[in-house]
């Protein structure tokens, strides 16, 4: 069985069967922080980050318990290479150091692929990801790799016209090589948007013709998907607030908006 299918099987067995588990109250966990790293599909203003962290600007309700710090350092238009070269990684590192120094358990999500795809083969992204994972661990934090959110571009038969697969596969490969957690958002988001269909999927677009970035509702949906997946990946360890209705709709391919 391929690495991709093994991860999908694990998600199907855990993260897709969450309503009853998420209906339980969030257990007391040690002080926890999240630092988000990635491109525009994670960043504030078009990515899933606001639906995960919450935002008073957009009105997104956090998927995390009160008191959980969530710092979104993702930046639009970046690759794994330019994120470092343009100094954004330095900001991420500073945030990680700050949270670790407070004695908080710090999780660092890393999602790239959309822009790396445009300039270099998957192996180039993989080398950069490996360096990031090693540095996050050296800082005393926990890296969590996340495969790319799908673009909502459809073929005439209603299936997603996917071009990001090789970069998602590379993300999974690096996770296996580095023995780190990985959330296969790519496969899960494809499964979901194909289930709800093009019309409902496009209602999550930031702009009518923008099949990459998310409006507030899209951020809510995919921020919840990430929250459910990371909670399943670290069972009983994270301060994720349950949203049984939204989780049920996601896991059953039902449009919420």
pLDDT band at 4 (very low <50, low <70, confident <90, very high): very low
User: Please, are residues 36 and 74 in contact by the beta-carbon 8 Å criterion?
Assistant: yes
Which pLDDT score, from 0 to 100, does residue 27 have?
62
Tokens of residue 166, six digits: 């090789």
128 pLDDT higher than 50: yes
Confidence at residue 29, expressed as pLDDT on a 0 to 100 scale: 80
pLDDT band, residue 10 (cuts 50/70/90): very low
Q: Both tokens of residue 255?
A: 């449009």
In the predicted model, is pLDDT for residue 55 greater than 60? Answer: yes
Crossing angle between the packed helical segments 3-13 and 165-178, to the nearest 10 degrees: 80
Handedness of CA 185, 186, 187, 193 (dihedral sign): positive
Q: What is the pLDDT of residues 69-79, one digit of tens each?
A: 999 999 999 99
Predicted confidence (pLDDT) at residue 12 exceeds the cutoff of 50: no
* pLDDT given at position 30: 86
Backbone angles phi, psi at 241, to 5 degrees: -80, 130
What is the gyration radius of the CA atoms in the chain, in angstroms?
A: 17
For domain 31-251, the question of CATH label 3.40.109.10 is answered with no
Q: Is residue 53 a contact partner of residue 46, using CB atoms and an 8 Å limit? A: no
Q: So what's the pLDDT on residue 26? A: 55
Beta strands in 9-121 (DSSP E): 32-38, 69-72, 105-111
Characterize the bridge pairing of strands 69-72 and 32-38. parallel
The pLDDT score that the predictor gives to residue 73 is: 98
The model's confidence at residue 11, banded by pLDDT at 50, 70 and 90, is very low
pLDDT band at 98 (very low <50, low <70, confident <90, very high): very high
Q: Which residues contact 59 (CB under 8 A, 6 or more apart)?
A: 216
Query: In what helix (H) or strand (E) does residue 240 lie, and over which residues does it extend?
Result: none
Of all residues in the chain, the percent with pLDDT exceeding 90 is: 86
pLDDT, tens only, 16-50: 334 334 334 456 788 999 999 999 999 999 999 99
At 174-213, the pLDDT tens digits run: 999 999 999 999 999 999 999 999 999 999 999 999 999 9
Mean pLDDT of 142-155: 98
Average pLDDT, the chain: 91
Quote the CA–CA distance of 61 and 52 in Å, as a whole number: 8
**Range with the lowest mean pLDDT among 2-11, 24-33, 93-102, 135-144?**
2-11
Cβ neighbourhood burial of 248 (10 Å; 0-12, 13-18, 19+): middle
Specify the 3-state DSSP secondary structure of 197.
helix
- Is the pLDDT at 147 greater than 80? The verdict is yes
Neighbours of 85 (CB within 10 A): 11
Q: Token pair for residue 96?
A: 């990680």
Q: What is the C-alpha separation between 214 and 221, in angstroms, rounded?
A: 10
């Amino acid at each position: 069985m391929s690495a991709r299918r093994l991860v999908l099987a694990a998600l199907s067995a855990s993260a897709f069967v969450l309503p009853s588990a998420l209906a339980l109250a969030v257990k007391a966990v040690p002080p926890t922080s999240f630092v988000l790293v990635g491109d525009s599909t994670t960043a504030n203003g078009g990515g899933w980050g606001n639906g995960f962290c919450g935002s008073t600007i957009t009105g997104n309700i956090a998927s995390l318990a009160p008191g959980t710090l969530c710092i979104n350092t993702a930046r639009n238009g970046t690759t794994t290479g330019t994120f470092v070269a343009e100094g954004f990684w330095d900001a991420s590192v500073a945030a990680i150091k700050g949270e670790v120094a407070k004695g908080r358990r710090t999780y660092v999500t890393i999602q790239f692929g959309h822009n790396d795809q445009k300039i270099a083969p998957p192996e180039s992204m993989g080398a950069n990801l490996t360096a990031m994972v090693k540095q996050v661990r050296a800082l005393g934090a926990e890296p969590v790799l996340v495969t790319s959110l799908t673009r909502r571009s459809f073929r005439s038969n209603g299936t997603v016209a996917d071009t990001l697969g090789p970069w998602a596969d590379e993300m999974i490969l690096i996770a296996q090589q580095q023995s780190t957690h990985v959330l296969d958002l790519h496969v899960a988001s494809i499964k979901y948007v194909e289930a709800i269909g093009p019309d409902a999927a496009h209602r999550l677009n930031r702009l009518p013709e923008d099949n990459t970035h998310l409006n507030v509702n899209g951020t809510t949906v995919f921020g919840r998907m990430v929250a459910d997946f990371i909670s399943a990946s670290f069972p009983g360890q994270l301060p994720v607030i349950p949203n049984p209705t939204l989780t049920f709709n996601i896991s059953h391919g039902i449009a919420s908006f």
